[in-house]
Structure 1
Amino acid sequence: MEQPQVFVSFFLDASRPNSDGKCLIKLNIYQKPHKRRYATKFHVTKEDWAKLNSAKLRDEDLKEIKKKLNALQSQAEDVVATIKPFSFVTFEDAFIKGIVTTPTATTSRMLTDWFTTSINLLKANDQVGTAGTYQTTINSINEFKKNLQIQDITPAFLQSYEKHLRSENKSLSTISIYMRNLRSIINKAIKDKFLSRDAYPFKSYEIPTGQNVKKALKDFDINHILTYTPEKADQQKAVDFWIFSYLCSGINFADIIALKPSNISGNYLTFYRQKTIRTKKKDLRPIKVGLNSRALAIIEKYKNTDPQNPYLFSILEAGLSAKTIKNRCQRFIKWVNKRMYEICEDLGIENKTGTYAARHTFSTVMKRKGAPTSFIKDALGHSSVATTENYLDSFEDEVILEYANALTTFNQSVLKAV
């Protein structure tokens, strides 16, 4: 028997206005004949509630509340979509308590349905970036062949799909991401006993991988950036945050914007990577960074002064959805990159030097200065040395040429002795 549809909406509890005459907005979850309401942090008057639901909303404060309510509703709907069959208790665990459980295995044979289930779970777990790559993957597969079933993924299909991606000039990195996402779906189907392990298509197909394009700067280019003083304030802010990333073990910008004052203790910064904090359950270790005087000065210069804002830097504020945080991060990175490209042009640095170059540059400088790969691995927050080695820059051209010349250059005293 098909379950009744679940509806997500909001309800103004006008029965208990506060001293300012404002009433609590509640999240309303309705599945005929049952409904439950959950308190939000938003209070408005009856008049403002009517405005919130009108087509022509002009009040800026109410616009912000509506924006956050829309994000909350979207998040709730994503969680509801993962719960099959729907249960209020499971919803409360996933949404109210923040405990996301794996949804019941889909009974559909359609590959798109398996991707949709995983995408909804990722969104419910605030992994909006990964959810985006899964959505891009299934879009690409559907463009190649429509209406595929889970058992249609064979070694022959994987070979033909890879050939198709190459014909579209997709990079090895993109092909690898698509194939790894598809492999994850197949593994899920096998784990849920929907697909036989004997039918595992990746045992006779190897996912292509390519070396990362080296983005590290040479020593004299690093020095130019460290000593550069832009005339424009926006360029100064961009280069300051680039330098902060470089000085703090190549910290990702997603981790920079998520920092809080509690992450700073004296001359040390301690944090968990946002990339792994929700996905890595075992051996989750914090990254500890020593802060030199330059890094401390940047923190002091840009630290948030709003006591209501919990973040170290005022790029984010409280109450934002995971999707909004992702968008803010992407916009900030784009903003910094644009100005860093301008700075590199002024300095005569040939390669475009965006935010990610700071991370590669940190790891390569550590290598040049003789730091053990194990130390660099821990500083970057990698789980394996192999991952770190992909970050480390190849030997510079001058060093390669030096070794080539050494093949025909010998110690004269040794030659005379012979």
Structure 2
Amino acid sequence: MTSIKLKFRPSAVQGKEGSLVFQLIHGRSVRRITSGYRIFAGEWDSKTGRILLPSLSSPRYTFLVSLKTELQWELENLRRMVEESETATGNVSLDEIAANFQPCTDTPDSVFNFIHEQVRHKKKLGKVRSVETYRSMLNSLMRFRKGVDLTFDMVDGGLLELYEAWMQGCGLTRNTTSFYMRILRTNYKLAVEKGLTPDRHPFRHVYCGMDKTVKRSMTFIEIKKINDLDLSRNPSLDFARDMFMFSFCTRGMSFIDMAYLKKTDLDNGCLAYRRKKTGQLLTMEWTEQMQAIMDKYKPNGTRYLLLIITREDGSERRQYQNQMRKINRHLKEIARLAGLPLPLSMYYSRHSWATIARGKDVPLSVISEALGHDSETTTQIYLDSIKSSEVDKANRMILEGL
């Protein structure tokens, strides 16, 4: 059994950063590998052997969070090397492991390391959602491979079919396995472009498409039932209902776009924002229904328009995610109170707006513009001649009677 731990070696100079070291113990043999990462003594917890994170407002917070991820990656890399050595020889040579160990970025032809580098690159670009999805796919692939890395030359159709079957065996839906496959395919094509492997077209026999899902939509009568509920005695349910209705009133605005709406996005009776998903600029008329929701709450002390993100301390994304979970949980109770037999969530507002609009004979092109479907080829041809005023007219028609 080989023990692999992270240790801190303080600097001999007072107040200077010390080194983080990987310590490997096998039997009576001990080897230490300097990681190349340095932190201050006050940032290390000797009892737990972990990095101590400062407050969110600290200028070192982001660096240390990123460093923890990098070190975890290096530890996993060392564990993989030990396992491979035990499998190949039945024994572990710490000298050999110490000599061969390299930072993950030094071996770009490795699939794990290549994708990990893409995660780091997207993090620098601020693409938070892409970082999360790439990391999730990489963790899935590493579990399938039991931590054993591979090169892109080893990625073939047979391997991908086994990976797909393994994911299905874990209970993932076809859309989820396809989502992971598409991310892996993107990285494979990038590796081909970089000359790391010839393109052997290994994704031909695995599913990379999109299954149609059950549309989560409601009738206008059902929307009105939710709007008319008296929830004044339960502020949490009341707020969840108001956020759902705000989304519906804003043509099915996604929750992440609602969370990041700024006060400056509302000007002279017009709300203008860019979709987080596509970057497309959407503008709409500010209606009395939207204002009625805003009038129920005290102004937010931050730059944000709604009371979803209430602190600007670096935890904005976590606040948005926590609020989304709470609101979706409360919406299920709201559906019960309204007598609606459905698992209500924020996503229902978007589908409902589109379905109701279509039922009122609003042109498909106007609906497409309203939802911001600029990247969907099935609706793109309708978008060029649509004006915001037409979309606002459609929205007023839908909101009548609320």
- TM band (smaller chain): 0.5 to 0.7
Structure 1 residue aligned with 2:226: 225
Structure 1 residue aligned with 2:281: 286
Q: Which amino acid aligns with 1:229?
A: D
Unmatched segments (≥5 aa) in structure 2 = 1-16, 20-40, 46-51, 72-104, 381-402
CA RMSD, Structure 1 to Structure 2 (Å): 3.8
Tell me the SS of whatever aligns to 1:270.
strand
Q: Which has the higher mean CA deviation after the structures are superposed, 202-211 or 244-253?
A: 202-211
Structure 1 residue aligned with 2:125: 125
Tell me the SS of whatever aligns to 1:367.
helix
Q: Any idea what the Cα deviations from partners look like across 1:121-156, whole Å, max 9, x if unmatched?
A: 222223233222222212222222242322222122
Q: 1:126 to 1:325 in 2, by over 3 A?
A: farther
Structure 1 residue aligned with 2:179: 177
Tell me the SS of whatever aligns to 2:57.
helix
Q: Any idea what the Cα deviations from partners look like across 1:238-263, whole Å, max 9, x if unmatched?
A: 10111000110111111111111111
Aligned equivalents of 2:372 and 2:215: distance in 1? 19
2:319 aligned residue (328, 335, 356): 328
Unmatched segments (≥5 aa) in structure 1 = 1-27, 31-49, 56-62, 82-104, 278-284, 390-418
Structure 2 residue aligned with 1:73: 63
Structure 1 residue aligned with 2:353: 362
Structure 2 residue aligned with 1:406: none
Q: Any idea what the Cα deviations from partners look like across 1:308-343, whole Å, max 9, x if unmatched?
A: x2221243256543xx32221111011111211111
- Residues 374 and 385 in structure 1, CA contact (< 8 A), matched pair in contact too: no
Q: Which has the higher mean CA deviation after the structures are superposed, 182-191 or 285-294?
A: 285-294
Q: 1:387 to 1:128 in 2, by over 3 A?
A: farther
2:370 aligned residue (372, 375, 379): 379
- Runs of 4+ residues over 6 Å off in structure 1: 52-55, 78-81
Indicate whether 1:250 and 2:240 are aligned.
Answer: no
Q: Any idea what the Cα deviations from partners look like across 1:78-106, whole Å, max 9, x if unmatched?
A: 9999xxxxxxxxxxxxxxxxxxxxxxx97
TM-score by length of 1: 0.65
Aligned equivalents of 1:359 and 1:202: distance in 2? 33
Tell me the SS of whatever aligns to 2:251.
coil
Structure 2 residue aligned with 1:276: 278
- Residues 68 and 319 in structure 1, CA contact (< 8 A), matched pair in contact too: no
Q: Which amino acid aligns with 1:342?
A: E
TM-score by length of 2: 0.67
Q: 1:314 to 1:348 in 2, by over 3 A?
A: closer
Q: Any idea what the Cα deviations from partners look like across 1:320-370, whole Å, max 9, x if unmatched?
A: 43xx32221111011111211111111110111111111111121111111
Aligned-residue sequence identity (percent) comes to 23
Deviation, 1:208, is 3.8
Aligned equivalents of 2:214 and 2:376: distance in 1? 18
- Residues 107 and 113 in structure 2, CA contact (< 8 A), matched pair in contact too: no
Structure 2 residue aligned with 1:296: 291
Question: How many residues are paired up?
Answer: 312
Aligned equivalents of 1:303 and 1:124: distance in 2? 36
Structure 1 residue aligned with 2:115: 115
Deviation, 1:110, is 1.8
Aligned equivalents of 1:175 and 1:74: distance in 2? 32
Structure 1 residue aligned with 2:153: 151
Q: Which amino acid aligns with 1:124?
A: K
1:263 aligned residue (232, 246, 265): 265
- Residues 106 and 114 in structure 1, CA contact (< 8 A), matched pair in contact too: no
Q: 1:305 to 1:116 in 2, by over 3 A?
A: closer
Q: Which amino acid aligns with 2:112?
A: T
